[in-house]
A = this chain, B = another copy of it.
Amino acid sequence: MPRRSSGRVTLQDIAERVGVSKVTVSRCLREPQRVSETVRLRVEEAIDVLDYIPNRQAGALSSGRSLSVALLVPSISNSVFSEVQRGVDEGLREAGYQVLMGHTGYSILEEERLIDTFLAYGVDGFVLSSTRHTDYAQRLLNRARLPVVETMELTDNPLDINVGLDQRVAGRAIGEALIAAGYRRIGFCGARLDYRVQQRLAGWEDALKAAGLSTQRCQTTPRPSSYRLGGELLSAMLERWPDMDAVFCCNDDLAAGALFECQRRRLDVPGQLALAGFNGLDITDATWPTLTTVITPRRAIGEQAARLIVERLQGAPRNPSRHDMGFEIALRQST
């Protein structure tokens, strides 16, 4: 019994209308210069009239290339990653690839699940937002032999390509900047202690220890970061360490929340307490006072990731590499 066709317009329909074989129609789309102009024009007209939309699934199945790349980010509501995504998206789209996005909710198990899913969709490559994965995920990625970019942080053992910045060095740099500004009783507050936050914390400790300062003023929680949490953490810290003169918040959300809490308490920033954040989100440059922060090159990371993965997709050989995109300290009114 013949299978009922989907009803969609196919290459065959175009071919019949024009009076050529479907291979010729296919060529018109993929290598138009190899088809005579007369035929090409008639095919284009037919495509237009019939509203033909190529079936990518069929194409991918046949050619083994789906022209799509998976981008996995921890969270979509966190604007840190939306800049990365923009860079990736733009770079890949230019090269003719479609980005398929997934979010892991900061869970490597969920990442594993998504890698599995997107492999089933036949993506041609992966852009990941971390260097830490489950063993099974690593095995899947290695077996698939696809280009993989791990972004955001740096690692000594990249799966393939690694583009990011040294979170620990950045944490240390902001710590040193606070010390240089004259602060001595510097606290750290962190939420959702993922690997990157832990690195920043380690960097902060490096800086304080190197200066002979105490690293005890450290308040952390596994809860997800938010403005309100920034206020809560700050309150807790002020209670435990009333003498604290500066706080490095592990990200800008917490820093902004802490700032709002200071305003609520009529605590002068930076007069009574200095605040610093991390990432350089828009809000840090909009509040009053503006917030000192570490500006991370998220857009550039995304663009670079796209560039490198496109190279690989176009045939460049696998060659593990690490790209340090650096960072920038923005000293603003809050310190």
Contact = CB atoms under 8 A, between A and B. Distances in A.
A119 interface: yes
Contact of A61 (B57, B76, B260): B57
Contacts of A226: 282, 286
A120 interface: yes
A231 interface: yes
A222 to B, nearest CB: 19
Contact of A76 (B57, B82, B98, B228): B82
A30 interface: no
A116 interface: yes
A138 interface: no
A58 B55 contact: no
A122 interface: yes
Interface string A47-91: 000010111111011001010100000001101001101100000
Nearest to A253: B282
A184 B264 CA distance: 28
9 contacts: A55-B61, A76-B85, A79-B79, A98-B121, A226-B286, A227-B287, A256-B286, A260-B287, A263-B288
